[in-house]
Structure 1
Amino acid sequence: MMRKISILALILVLIALFWYLFLKPQDYQVSFKAKALPGTIFETVKAWNKTMDTVAPVQFESLQDFTQTLAFNDSVHIYEWNITKIHDSLSQIDVNIKDRDHSLMNKIKIPFSDTDFEKGSRKTLLDFNQFLNEHLQKFKVSIVGEEELFSTFCACVSLTTEPVEKAGGIMANYSYLNSTIFENGAEPNGPPFLEVENWDLKANTLSYNFCFPIIRSEKLPIHPSITYKRIFGKPALKAVYNGNYVTSDRAWYALLNYAEENNIPVEKKPIEVFFNNPNMGGNEIEWRTEVYMPIKESE
């Protein structure tokens, strides 16, 4: 009887050892909490990734799960991020880390010492946490709630960029659109705004219209890159964002979170109204953007 128990125990140990050495997906895990929503963390990882020695862009699966591949000397480390929202202002971050070419050796060493791989992984993610905390100090999002989206006629240019290049698209076309329209007799009718047409997180692309509200007229200039259209009023969720327009999508994630928490179906096509010209500079935390997330109409 004891012999059978010993054999069974040995088999279980060998199975566990085989799983640990050859099947366990990560070599090491680092966990910490952050005062941010998963969407903000995801976008910050993408920004931080550009400051690192990277092998590839961040690979998106969802806002809760994505993969980062970093180069460290002669090693390539795979960071699998898992984000769990605890509440509206706090998330749990678990990062599973694997050395692509030295995984087996790491698993052998880790139970017996605090390896350079472990120390380096902790240091890297401490650096990220500092990067994230510094970013969180540079903007503010305030949820207003349900409000009617404005209605206006407008002149627009259509653009497709990476989300992080959205502000660059605005700045590149601000003066151009302003001079082409208003120097030809158009009458302004409010601050400029951005209307998102397609937001593709997996492809990391954003298609949008950058528009100036104007009074409709029969004498508007005809230009191949300018279109005229009307925005119609409809119910929407509204937030106020203060900060650089590069990162105003943090308000998009806050509105999506608010919609989810309150069971409000929305269209993921935000509209941003800009009350500051980014070409004029100034204190970014004082820049004001009103952000609307349209509510889906009842079928």
Structure 2
Amino acid sequence: MKKVILVLLPLLVAGLLWYLFIKPYDYLVTFKARTFPGTINQSIKTWNSTLKDAQLVHQEGLTHLEQNIKFSDSTYLYQWDIIPLTDSTSKVKVYVKDLDHSLQNKIAIPFFNTDFEKRTISTVKDFSEKLNEHIDNFRVKVTGKKELPATYCAYVSVKANQFGKAKGMMYNYPLLNTILANNGIELNGRPFIEITEWDKETDSIHYDFCYPIIKSDSLPEHPDLEYKQFNSRNALMAVYNGNYITSDRAWYALLDYARENDIEVTGLPVELFYNNPNMGGDALTWKAEVYLPIKNVDD
């Protein structure tokens, strides 16, 4: 018995020291989500922007985010780890630490239902409910490979964040529509955007908002309006239904599909729109075809 005690006691002491002073979090909350990591990543950022005294402090790829939230006299560190399970489900682990009262929490949690635990569970539940509401408001279906046809187009270049993409489209829609209509330019397809730059860490994008037109010798001039040839390319395609503000959810679905099927892509999506957001209506009836161009062997 003494030998057993001599063996177990150091292990117990080491375990206690690890738990109290080394363990990097005070509490862990885990839940499953009916969507892929990109949607969860963007939803955390949108939810964070609605909170008082909350700040995103670090991101590693799409699947790890760190967030500080202040509650009265404490600052909580939330570390979000997003683990894909299938192409439409993920597990989310939220590691939470009170940066000001961590030791007290670790001592109290095994014995009491603390305010820290209650607040943590309530906060994560609030996010989970809002995530589920968002998931119910859009649809993404990856359909496979398809060729993007070539076209000539008039376009306006826009810089924005991903959330501001649709606002930039709505702002420039009257400009494109009015100039082209007033000058008798013949349209040749549905409007689309071509992403030319995408910073996944900051969610900043540059894109060209394009109207396919029939090329002519007398095209109208405007300081914000340019023209270009959009070349044909092979791409992965998804159909998106929902508000165009969040059509970037299809970008992440296509990136996941490309990775799972070992397809090398450019990472710069193209979206072709079937509806005019300025007309309103039920967003779930809006449709966009979202393409992710496949890299050519010469790229």
TM-score, normalized by length of structure 2?
A: 0.95
Amino acid paired to 2:166: A
Hey, what does 1:2 align to over in structure 2? 2
1:35 aligns with 2:31: no
1:60 aligns with 2:55: no
- Partner SS state of residue 263, structure 2: coil
Measure, in 1, the Cα distance between the counterparts of 2:82 and 2:228.
40
Hey, what does 1:44 align to over in structure 2? 43
**Cα deviations by residue, 1:201-220 (Å, 9 ceiling, x for unpaired):** 21221111111111111211
**Cα deviations by residue, 1:173-218 (Å, 9 ceiling, x for unpaired):** 1111211233123221111111001111212211111111111112
Measure, in 2, the Cα distance between the counterparts of 1:224 and 1:291.
29
1:292 aligns with 2:263: no
**Cα deviations by residue, 1:57-80 (Å, 9 ceiling, x for unpaired):** 363211111112212222211110
Residue 6 of structure 1 deviates from its aligned partner by 4.3
Over the matched positions of the two proteins, sequence identity in percent amounts to 49
> What is the 5 A alignment of 1:256-275?
256-275=255-274
1:228 aligns with 2:227: yes
> What is the 5 A alignment of 1:98-177?
98-177=97-176
1:209 aligns with 2:195: no
Structure 1: runs of 5+ lacking an equivalent: none
Hey, what does 1:18 align to over in structure 2? 17
Contact 1:66 / 1:82 at 8 angstroms: preserved in 2? yes
Amino acid paired to 1:240: V
Measure, in 2, the Cα distance between the counterparts of 1:232 and 1:85.
34
- 50-59 vs 256-265, which moves further: 50-59
Amino acid paired to 1:127: D
- 59-68 vs 8-17, which moves further: 8-17
Residue 7 of structure 1 deviates from its aligned partner by 5.0
Measure, in 2, the Cα distance between the counterparts of 1:99 and 1:279.
45
Contact 1:191 / 1:213 at 8 angstroms: preserved in 2? yes
Contact 1:59 / 1:202 at 8 angstroms: preserved in 2? no
- Partner SS state of residue 164, structure 2: helix
- Partner SS state of residue 131, structure 1: helix
Amino acid paired to 1:165: G
- Partner SS state of residue 56, structure 1: strand
Amino acid paired to 2:2: M
- 279-288 vs 200-209, which moves further: 200-209
Measure, in 2, the Cα distance between the counterparts of 1:94 and 1:112.
23
Contact 1:185 / 1:220 at 8 angstroms: preserved in 2? no
Contact 1:60 / 1:201 at 8 angstroms: preserved in 2? no
Measure, in 1, the Cα distance between the counterparts of 2:121 and 2:188.
53
Measure, in 2, the Cα distance between the counterparts of 1:115 and 1:205.
40
Question: Structure 1 residues 159 and 57, CA, compared in 2 at 3 Å: closer, same or farther?
Answer: farther
**RMSD (Å), alpha carbons:** 1.6
Amino acid paired to 2:83: T
Amino acid paired to 1:134: E
Residue 287 of structure 1 deviates from its aligned partner by 0.5
- 87-96 vs 254-263, which moves further: 254-263
Measure, in 1, the Cα distance between the counterparts of 2:187 and 2:289.
18
Residue 104 of structure 1 deviates from its aligned partner by 1.3
Structure 2: runs of 5+ lacking an equivalent: none
Tell me the matched-pair count: 298
Measure, in 2, the Cα distance between the counterparts of 1:57 and 1:125.
15
Residue 8 of structure 1 deviates from its aligned partner by 5.0
- Partner SS state of residue 111, structure 1: coil
Question: Structure 1 residues 170 and 58, CA, compared in 2 at 3 Å: closer, same or farther?
Answer: farther
Residue 251 of structure 1 deviates from its aligned partner by 0.8
